[in-house]
Amino acid sequence: MTYEHDFLVIGSGIAGLIYALQVSRLGKVAIVTKSSLLDCNTAYAQGGIAAAIDVKDSFAEHVEDTFQAGAELGKRQVIQQIIEAGPALIQYLIDLGTDFTRMDESYDTSLENLSLSLEGGHTRRRVAYAADSTGYQIMEALITQCKANNAIDIFENRIAIDLITQHHVVQDNGFIPGITCWGAYVLDTDNNQVDIFRAKKTMMSTGGAAQIYAHNTNPSVATGDGMAMARLAGARLANMEFVQFHPTAFWSPDGDTFLISEAVRGEGAILRLSDGRAFMDDYHPKGNLAPRDVVSRAIDAELKKRGEKFCYLDATGVPSAILKAHFPFIDSKLKEKGIDFTCEPIPVAPAAHYFCGGILSTIDGATDIRNLFVAGEVACCGLHGANRLASNSLLEALVVAYKAANHPCNSDPVDFPIIPEWRLMGVFNENEWVIISHNREIIGTIMQGYAGIRRSRRLLKYALSRLENIYNEINNFYQHNAVRKEVVETRNMAVIAIAVVRSALMRKESRGAHFLIDNPERNDLGYKHDTII
């Protein structure tokens, strides 16, 4: 079946829904999402959105904090433009119905009444939040708006397989130069049918790829689909070595993890070892509020020295009223695990959390591929550099998606070629399913062990060899079997795992979220530039 829209949005996080709402003024919009609209990284975001709102704060200070947290690899002009756009777009979210936590719980919804928290790497309180479920509150407001919009069609339980480009089109009337996107082939996972979604413009807002690591904070849908599809279609990826590990993910022996927001440390919680010793002051002047890459490496180093799997986050010194009011979600999740964090410490360990790199793009989401825009974690526009400053992710997604939706080219006419139906293969070979299920697990194990917080060139080379063999196995299965969601996801995970390792091998220094034991120092003379593949 062929669906025809003016705009196709792949992914349903904050970036995709903001874009959809904005471009719906120009034409019909299709939102394609792999699961439900709420099953995305945005909904998991606890902390909030960083913006220089307080009168004591300034854009210049926020810019400098972002640039320093990113190990001086971010683009200053990009950083400044995104930060300066932040306050007005947070007001836009409020106007759409987002219920941020306010200082005065009256009907005053002005920016001046927002309660602001402090997170690692920031020099000011500048994070607007909604208790500890900010992303969820934003998503509820955006979903309500999208469902009420007659110009927006929503397609849940659909996974995009490939972008429709010159690779798929028969060019009998002469070559179409460059690479152009005319939509995507999309699998309806309820009936395993592949449909064509044809569109003048496509927005890729599929989030990150932390599922390539065995221990991560992301939902199961975060398998790098957008990055992999764009890469396979011919787009460049940038800075894929910079995978941010969140330092404080809940640790349990059964592997059931969830995020313990950085804002808990912002309120005064302290990281401690099993003997009760606080250790972060040994690693950074900001102690427990050091940038995430510093904190994650410090925890990793201490645990390796002691042969332990987790340390503790001690919030017992914070007034219990503040903990319960500010962190109700964390409170309820910990109680499910039998922990009362007002009077006992929380077991935590670093977990893969966020990709600072992604599809190379401009600040308004334009890519190497014509008619393809990207926004959010899937993209690399130059904001984060080598390490993301806390709560800058929702800010980036919001600003870039808004700019992409208001790009002047959105009104340009598009000539469509004849788009062939998806090439159907034979029946699905259940006997060979182990190729997919086994390799998916192996990818996570390899990345966790060989391309994690602390890396070595020897192990990275070993990982690359293993991963390339795994990709060949998966791709061979993909080429000879009927398409299935798990096959597409595992193909994408292999593509992105290889990209991370290749990028890490290209950077022979340590910077931000990339720490190489062979070259533990930063080398500004040789490597103060982006890694492009």
Could you report the per-residue pLDDT of 190-249, keeping only the tens digit for each? 999 999 999 999 999 999 999 999 989 898 899 999 999 999 999 999 999 999 999 999
List the catalytic residues.
292
Q: Which of 334, 350, 366 is the last residue of a domain?
A: 350
Per-residue pLDDT band for 38 (boundaries 50, 70, 90) equals confident
203 part of a folded domain = yes
Kindly state whether residues 133 and 260 are assigned to the same domain.
Answer: no
pLDDT confidence of residue 437: 83
Average pLDDT over residues 389-407: 96
Cβ–Cβ < 8 Å for 151, 137 = no
Cβ–Cβ < 8 Å for 31, 6 = no
Kindly state whether residues 286 and 315 are assigned to the same domain.
Answer: yes
Kindly state whether residues 256 and 327 are assigned to the same domain.
Answer: yes
- CA-CA distances (angstroms) from residue 42 to 4, 38, 391, 415? 28, 8, 11, 34
Per-residue pLDDT band for 446 (boundaries 50, 70, 90) equals very high
Kindly state whether residues 31 and 138 are assigned to the same domain.
Answer: yes
29 beta partners: 7, 152
Kindly state whether residues 505 and 402 are assigned to the same domain.
Answer: no
Specify the CATH number for the domain of residue 288.
Answer: 3.90.700.10
Which region among 197-211, 230-244, 313-327, 353-367 has the lowest average model confidence (pLDDT)?
Answer: 313-327
Kindly state whether residues 335 and 199 are assigned to the same domain.
Answer: no
Distance CA 515, CA 494 (A): 22
pLDDT tens track for 110-142: 888 898 988 878 999 999 988 878 888 999 999
Structure-block tokens of residue 415: 């000539």
Range of the domain at 490: 430-522
Kindly state whether residues 176 and 255 are assigned to the same domain.
Answer: no
- The domain total for the chain is 3
Per-residue pLDDT band for 427 (boundaries 50, 70, 90) equals low
Cβ–Cβ < 8 Å for 355, 377 = yes
Please give the share of the chain, as a percent, with pLDDT higher than 70.
97
Kindly state whether residues 444 and 301 are assigned to the same domain.
Answer: no
67 part of a folded domain = yes
What is the separation of C-alpha 502 from the centre of its chain, rounded to a whole number of angstroms? Answer: 20
pLDDT confidence of residue 428: 65
Residue 115 three-state SS: coil
414 part of a folded domain = no
531 part of a folded domain = no
Specify the CATH number for the domain of residue 87.
Answer: 3.50.50.60
User: Is 256 buried (19+), middle (13-18) or exposed (0-12) by CB count in 10 A?
Assistant: exposed
Kindly state whether residues 90 and 232 are assigned to the same domain.
Answer: yes
Structure-block tokens of residue 487: 């096959």
Q: pTM above 0.85?
A: yes
- The alpha-helical segments, DSSP class H, found in 393-433 are 393-405
β-pairing, 358-360 vs 237-238, is antiparallel
415 part of a folded domain = no
292 part of a folded domain = yes
pLDDT confidence of residue 161: 97
Q: Which of 350, 375, 393 is the last residue of a domain?
A: 350
Mean pLDDT of the chain: 92
Structure-block tokens of residue 87: 């306050």
282 part of a folded domain = yes
Cβ–Cβ < 8 Å for 156, 146 = no
pLDDT of 261 over the 90 cut: no
Kindly state whether residues 82 and 209 are assigned to the same domain.
Answer: yes
Kindly state whether residues 107 and 226 are assigned to the same domain.
Answer: yes
Nearest CA among 290, 335, 343 for reference residue 317? 343
pLDDT confidence of residue 107: 66
Q: Which of 350, 368, 399 is the last residue of a domain?
A: 350
Specify the CATH number for the domain of residue 518.
Answer: 1.20.58.100
Average pLDDT over residues 323-344: 92
Distance CA 403, CA 366 (A): 10
pLDDT confidence of residue 47: 73
105 part of a folded domain = yes
Instruction: Give CB contacts under 8 A, 24+ apart, made by 466-474.
Output: 466/442, 467/443, 467/494, 467/497, 467/498, 467/501, 468/498, 470/439, 470/442, 470/443, 470/494, 471/495, 471/498, 473/435, 473/439, 474/435, 474/436, 474/439
CB count in 10 Å sphere of residue 433: 15
Kindly state whether residues 148 and 207 are assigned to the same domain.
Answer: yes
